[in-house]
Amino acid sequence: MDNYIELTGVRKCFGKEEILKRLDFSLERGTVCGIVGNNGSGKTVLMKCICGFLPVTEGLVRVGGKLIGKEIDFPESLGVIIETPGFLGNLSGRRNLEILADLRGKLKRVQITETLLRVGLDPGLKKPVAKYSLGMRQRLGIAQAIMEQPEFLVLDEPFNGLDRHGVEEIRGLLLQEKEKGRTILLASHNSEDIRILCDRVFEMDAGVMSEVQIR
């Protein structure tokens, strides 16, 4: 297997505060990797740096063989949920996805319908996103992340707001994505999510990464 993600000597500082401390990390293509750690440990900052949303202070980030921030701004085939997904609250979930699809010109309407069904949302629902429950918004965020069938998924707490049934549904969906050979970075506070979904697990603690065994 070739490495899909490679971090070399990566540091990220905000002023004098060092959030990521000289990280060296590689992940093989088609691997599901869990990132665990307490709030403030650096998980979200790490994900944003890998996605190109934050520039690193030092070091190199390579995704899919290309340097982020140098050869390309963002990974070329990326689906992402980091923090609360932003949608136009006055429009339906379907219309939000259609607007995104029109901007990129990659999807047909039938593919949007299929994606909404996969995440457990009614494609015909007219309710504006502003009136969605937290769980419905999370499902819509997952739909947005997977709808173009990206090679690489970065999912920061994708189960937030979901009830037990919803968690089981989305776990099943992510297992399907794993079977398709996607490379997935997943942060979750739930050890069961990590155990079921992940091939490798790393713990973040005060900006330092260390690999841990899956029990």
Task: Quote the number of domains for the chain.
Answer: 2
Question: pLDDT tens, 143-180?
Answer: 999 999 999 999 999 998 899 999 999 999 999 999 99
Confidence band for 59, pLDDT divided at 50, 70 and 90: very high
**Within a domain: 103:** yes
Question: Alpha helices, DSSP H only, in the chain?
Answer: 43-51, 93-104, 109-118, 134-146, 164-179, 191-197
Confidence band for 100, pLDDT divided at 50, 70 and 90: confident
What pLDDT was estimated at residue 116?
A: 96
**Given a cut of 70, is residue 215 above it in pLDDT?**
no
Question: pLDDT tens, 102-137?
Answer: 877 777 788 999 999 999 999 999 999 999 999 999
Are residue 125 and residue 140 in the same domain, yes or no? yes
What is the pLDDT averaged over residues 72-77? 92
Q: Of 31-35, 84-88, 96-100, where does mean pLDDT reach its minimum?
A: 84-88
**What is the residue range of 202's domain?**
1-77+150-215
Are residue 144 and residue 155 in the same domain, yes or no? no
Token pair listed for 214:
């899956």
CA gap 177, 184 in Å, rounded: 9
What pLDDT was estimated at residue 211?
A: 92
Are residue 5 and residue 60 in the same domain, yes or no? yes
**Within a domain: 83:** no
Are residue 118 and residue 25 in the same domain, yes or no? no
Handedness of CA 42, 78, 187, 63 (dihedral sign): negative
**Within a domain: 209:** yes
Confidence band for 1, pLDDT divided at 50, 70 and 90: low
Are residue 10 and residue 68 in the same domain, yes or no? yes
Question: pLDDT tens, 6-45?
Answer: 999 999 999 999 999 999 999 999 999 999 998 888 999 9
**Within a domain: 188:** yes
**Given a cut of 70, is residue 181 above it in pLDDT?**
yes
Question: Model pTM?
Answer: 0.91
Are residue 55 and residue 26 in the same domain, yes or no? yes
**Within a domain: 28:** yes
Last residue of a domain, one of 109, 130, 148: 148
Are residue 154 and residue 144 in the same domain, yes or no? no
Q: In what order do the strands lie in the sheet with 200-205?
A: 78-81, 152-156, 183-187, 32-36, 200-205, 208-212
- Tokens 């069904």 -> residue: 117
CA gap 112, 125 in Å, rounded: 13
CATH of the domain at 30: 3.40.50.300
